[in-house]
Amino acid sequence: MNFSEKVIQFSESKLTIRLNRSNMSAEPLNLSPEKRRAFRAGRFPEDKITKDMIREVTCTVDCAPGTPNYKEFKVTEGMLFTKVPSNMSPPIEYCDKLLKINGVTITTKRAMQEAIYKLQKANKSHYLVFTIRRIIGVERIDARSVPSNASIKKPDSTDMNVKPKSGYLYYKVVLIYFPRSKLGINVKSYADVVYVESTDNSWGSTTRRFLYLGDAILKVDDTEVQTVSATQKALRSGFQKNGVVTLIIERATDQASVHFVRDVLHYSKVLDPFLPHDVMLTCKEQLAHYEKNGFAEPEPIYRGYTKDYSSASRVSVTKKVEVKNIKAEHFNPVMLSKVTDEIYKK
């Protein structure tokens, strides 16, 4: 059974891989200064971020008197939010582009601070209405457009250890290298399928709105992936090239596929500990003794006289075969759990 596990974390400075809790630094992401400035200004590749992915959203926040503090808001040169008060995330997401506050167009950081400060200084309860521009990077795709490593394209199997063939939805997910953003996902591979084991749901993570636990990553840009190392390599290459990567993911939806994915996430391969050196030497000496002197005849466990079967045939072979069906009742694994003393006494 092929199993490997890694943690992939992406930050502004580098992509870091963790294997079995050990740290291993990867090559830094060498984004050009021009591309960094373009992303901070909110200018992304038009072939990757199309117009139909950009939506204008209105967020209304009920504010107590004297709040919020304008110093708790930070934006880039392109008016992309990089920090907001904790009670505003959500509805505001990382690197949403600010357009208006209470219907007034905002184009500079100073104008944003002045608009918020006036409401704060009035010391009255009020509403803050943010008009923002958000990139929606998730799109459902037809099953006919999925890559060849999708479960629905694999042969049928009755093996319970094989992933079910049906019960999935497929999505195209676009992940963007926002300024100071991070991509923190734990992934594991099981039977040549890479699964999302966990995600970093903190504000600033580009995956918290897009990837769910148990999602299978089938493709990164133009590369189909089946191992953690291939996934890591494709992600690093895509971010270094464009600052944007496109994933094709498989999401379980019905009972059988969801249960299988849940079992995969709970599965953890633990290596057997090494035997101590003195135990290894003792076993080696004992094995050499047996090879030289042979194994001693075991003492009989019967008391009294026993029949000698040394010359008798103990097994008879016939050509007659009789098939017997063995049936078993269905059981609930929960019923096998340990009974507490309180319940047992009842």
Domains of the chain: 3-30+138-266 (2.30.42.10), 40-135 (2.30.42.10)
> What's the mean pLDDT in 31-60?
83
pLDDT at 1 over 80: no
Task: Answer yes or no: are the C-beta atoms of 198 and 5 closer than 8 Å.
Answer: no
Q: What is the pLDDT of residues 104-152, one digit of tens each?
A: 999 999 999 999 999 988 889 989 999 999 988 888 998 888 998 999 8
CA distances, 89 to each of 148, 158, 295 (Å): 38, 46, 73
> What's the mean pLDDT in 42-68?
87
Q: 104: Cβ–Cβ under 8 A, 6 or more apart, which residues?
A: 115
Higher-pLDDT residue of 326, 214: 214
Q: 296: Cβ–Cβ under 8 A, 6 or more apart, which residues?
A: none
| Tokens read off for 105 | 């167009």
Q: 177: Cβ–Cβ under 8 A, 6 or more apart, which residues?
A: 10, 29, 31, 39, 206, 239, 243, 244
305: helix, coil or strand?
A: coil
> What's the mean pLDDT in 28-48?
76
Q: What is the pLDDT of residues 298-314, one digit of tens each?
A: 777 766 776 666 666 66
pLDDT at 29 over 90: no
* Tokens 């049936």 -> residue: 327
pTM: 0.65
Q: How much is the mean pLDDT over the chain? A: 80
* Tokens 């507490």 -> residue: 340
CA atoms within 13 A on the CB side of 3: 10
pLDDT at 249 over 90: yes
> What's the mean pLDDT in 233-254?
88
Q: What CA–CA distance (Å, rounded) separates 316 from 318?
A: 7
Which stretches of 252-338 are DSSP H helices?
A: 255-266, 277-293
What's the pLDDT at 7?
Answer: 43
Task: Answer yes or no: are the C-beta atoms of 13 and 28 closer than 8 Å.
Answer: yes
DSSP 8-class letter at 47? T
> What's the mean pLDDT in 239-244?
83
- What whole-number percentage of the chain has pLDDT above 90? 24
Report the Cα 283 to chain-centroid distance in Å. 43
> What's the mean pLDDT in 20-35?
49
Q: What are phi and psi of 10, to 5 degrees?
A: -120, 125
Task: Answer yes or no: are the C-beta atoms of 182 and 72 closer than 8 Å.
Answer: no
Task: Answer yes or no: are the C-beta atoms of 213 and 251 closer than 8 Å.
Answer: no
Higher-pLDDT residue of 27, 278: 278
